[in-house]
Amino acid sequence: MASISFMYYLLALAMFSDVTLAFSSRLSPSYYDDVCPEALRTIKRVVEDAVNQERRMGASLLRLHFHDCFVQGCDGSILLDETSTIESEKNAAPNNNSVRGFEVIDKIKSEVDKVCGRHVVSCADILAVAARDSVVLLGGPTWKVRLGRRDSTTSNKTEANTSIPSPFMDLPTLLNNFKNQGLNAKDLVVLSGAHTLGFSQCLLFKDRIHTQTDDIDASFASRRRMNCPREGGDTNLATLDQTPSHFDTQYFDNLLLKKGLLKSDQALFSGDETNDLVQNYSANYGNFWKDFRGSMIKMGNIKPLTGERGQIRSNCRKVN
Ligand code: HEM
Ligand SMILES: *[C@@H]1O[C@H](CO)[C@@H](O)[C@H](O)[C@H]1NC(C)=O
Ligand SMILES: *[C@@H]1O[C@H](CO)[C@@H](O)[C@H](O)[C@H]1NC(C)=O
Ligand SMILES: *[C@@H]1O[C@H](CO)[C@@H](O)[C@H](O)[C@H]1NC(C)=O
Ligand SMILES: *[C@@H]1O[C@H](CO)[C@@H](O)[C@H](O)[C@H]1NC(C)=O
């Protein structure tokens, strides 16, 4: 009797529980242990080579996973090239001339397929593992990546344009954008901490540094204007914090001083509900580490394709 009602309970749970959770529960850190035990080591090796060649690549690979997950879930859709039937997400406004690292993903894919002897590792999983390995290489926390995502046969450029957050958003809009992905205020703040790594183009922060408001430090703005004029210089790069190859709390320290580079960065410390989180992570590296790890796993669990859905691509740029 007891076990029958327990089964009904499980059934009810399966029927009514959150869809994202129901699917993500099928991902597992040991997914490739039997089918290709060398897979994760191989990904790490290629990421190491790439990051040793250019430190920024670690940041770029982390961002690629984020931009993949926010469009149709973490399904490798961002990697598909334009064809007569695929409207590539690469050309969507938030990605065009901005996301990078595709050649590294291609290299990983070919090395992994070689070592596995067949196409068993998905491009979506490669993105998730490469993001983790990049963070570790640049001095950040490690975590066990849940695996078993399959690759999409579609992409959605319109969704990439509307779902990936813009650097011009204010706090309520950012919170809502993350909420649409099942992510909360803590996820927003701690994952924005990824901006402890990498660079931004002038175009994406010039309004902020050329407009005198009281949410930007005047001397910071003036220093940034030297390499980001009102007219021109749109693709000039600035670091997102002072240490673009070190996973540290500098990003949060800057927000406390009104020295966030993007409007969307400073919005996290603008007198509202997320202030405490920024202060917490600035003061305590351990909390930043711990929560970043948790939120990366949560982001990596967004709507994965599992079971019979999707496919394992043989070329990350093309549907089989
Ligand atoms: C909260 C909303 C976010 C906004 C509005 C945003 C926006 C941006 C922008 C505008 C850039 C510069 C792009 C360019 O210059 O072409 C950038 C870079 C970057 N973003 Fe974000 N981002 C957000 C969240 C995230 C998250 C959640 C992650 C990862 C977990 C992330 C990781 C990165 C990294 C690592 C870079 C540097 C990339 C490189 O140097 O190649 N960002 N972001
Ligand atoms: C992407 O950027 C290139 C410039 O590098 C431009 O020619 C092209 O029109 C842009 N694509 C879209 C879809 O905006
Ligand atoms: C692409 O995404 C948009 C916005 O989320 C949605 O309305 C549309 O149906 C999607 N297109 C395809 C072909 O799935
Ligand atoms: C992208 O979305 C914005 C609104 O978020 C819209 O103003 C813009 O026209 C869209 N661009 C394209 C190319 O669809
Ligand atoms: C800071 O963050 C940690 C980790 O999320 C949390 O346990 C702690 O309660 C927070 N402290 C404050 C003062 O908000």
Q: How far is the CA of 210 from the centre of ligand 3 (A)?
A: 36
- Structural domains in the chain, CATH included, are 39-164 (1.10.520.10), 171-299 (1.10.420.10)
**Nearest alpha-carbon partner for 47 in 136, 125, 145:** 136
The per-residue pLDDT for 272 is 83
Phi, psi of 305 (to 5 degrees): -85, 125
Alpha-carbon span 178 to 74, nearest angstrom = 15
Q: How far is the CA of 294 from the centre of ligand 1 (A)?
A: 19
Phi, psi of 197 (to 5 degrees): -120, 145
Going by alpha carbons, the residue nearest to atom 4 of ligand 4 is: 162
Alpha-carbon span 118 to 121, nearest angstrom = 9
Would you please indicate which residues are annotated as catalytic (active-site) residues? 67
Q: At what angle do helices 275-283 and 285-300 cross, to 10 degrees?
A: 120
Going by alpha carbons, the residue nearest to atom 37 of ligand 1 is: 198
The verdict on the CB of residue 260 being under 6 Å from ligand 1 is no
Around ligand 4, the residues with Cβ closer than 6 Å are 93, 161-162
Ligand-binding site membership of 234 (annotated): no
Ligand-binding site membership of 241 (annotated): yes
Around ligand 2, the residues with Cβ closer than 6 Å are 91, 96-97
The per-residue pLDDT for 225 is 98
Q: How far is the CA of 197 from the centre of ligand 1 (A)?
A: 9
Compute how many other C-beta atoms are within 10 angstroms of the C-beta atom of residue 40: 21
Alpha-carbon span 226 to 223, nearest angstrom = 6
- The pLDDT tens digits along the chain (320 residues) read 344 444 444 444 444 444 444 444 589 999 999 999 999 999 999 999 999 999 999 999 999 999 999 999 999 999 999 999 999 999 999 999 999 999 999 999 999 999 999 999 999 999 999 999 999 999 999 999 999 999 999 999 999 999 999 999 999 999 999 999 999 999 999 999 999 999 999 999 999 999 989 999 999 999 999 999 999 999 999 999 999 999 999 999 999 999 999 999 999 999 788 999 999 999 999 999 999 999 999 999 999 999 999 999 999 999 99
If 0-12 CB within 10 Å is exposed, 13-18 middle and 19+ buried, where does residue 11 land?
Answer: exposed
The best mutation among 97, 161, 234 to test binding of ligand 2, ranked by most ligand atoms within 8 Å of the C-beta, falls on 97
Locus of tokens 């490669």 = 126
Around ligand 3, the residues with Cβ closer than 6 Å are 156, 158-159
Ligand number nearest CA of 284 is 5
Q: How far is the CA of 159 from the centre of ligand 3 (A)?
A: 6
Ligand-binding site membership of 71 (annotated): yes
Ligand-binding site membership of 77 (annotated): yes
Going by alpha carbons, the residue nearest to atom 11 of ligand 5 is: 280
Q: How far is the CA of 269 from the centre of ligand 2 (A)?
A: 33
Ligand-binding site membership of 248 (annotated): yes
In the beta sheet, which residues pair with residue 201? 237
The best mutation among 188, 195, 246 to test binding of ligand 1, ranked by most ligand atoms within 8 Å of the C-beta, falls on 195
**Kindly report the CA angle at 143 between 137 and 146, in degrees rounded to 5?**
120
